Amino acid sequence: MQFEVPQFIEIEDKIFGPLTWRQFIYVGGGGAIAVVLFLVTPIYIFILIGLPIGLLAAALGFFPINNRPFSYFLEAIYNYTRKQKLYLWRQKRNIVHKQSFAPTTTIENPILRGNPSANPKKDIASLARRLELNALQKK
């Protein structure tokens, strides 16, 4: 049995004529508030309060920015104004508890047996000779 896979999931369904549910709520709510302010308050209060509310409702309903709803843009503005602007990198320091460690046993390498002398170059040369002899003996 085959199922139909939806193709355009980003596109909202048209509910009220050419308007989606979200557009209808924004425009209807903003328009209703503007009409009530027009009928109840003097004209200068309507111009100061009602027209910006109506313009905001129209922008929320019909004005996308970068193919995203205007409400996302307003949310981004709000988050930008409320959050910290200066970001400083601070290294996280882990607290390390240092304990003294004393090895209980020592492992001796048979190649390195011998007394170290005061001359480190001589020690390195003798160590190199011992390693070469040990390698030749294993062949």
The whole-angstrom separation of Cα 33 and Cα 57 is: 10
pTM: 0.51
Predicted pLDDT at 10: 72
Tokens 């109506």 found at:
54
Buried b (16+ CB within 10 A) or exposed e, 115-127: eeeeeeeeeeeee
- Report residue 6 as tokens: 């939806």
Q: How many domains does the chain have?
A: 1
**Domain presence at residue 95:** no
Predicted pLDDT at 55: 92
**Domain presence at residue 45:** yes
Predicted pLDDT at 103: 65
Q: Which residues of the chain have pLDDT under 50?
A: none
Task: Note the pLDDT tens digit of each residue in 42-62.
Answer: 999 999 998 899 999 999 988
**Domain presence at residue 9:** no
Residue 33 sits in which domain range? 14-70
**Domain presence at residue 99:** no
**Domain presence at residue 22:** yes
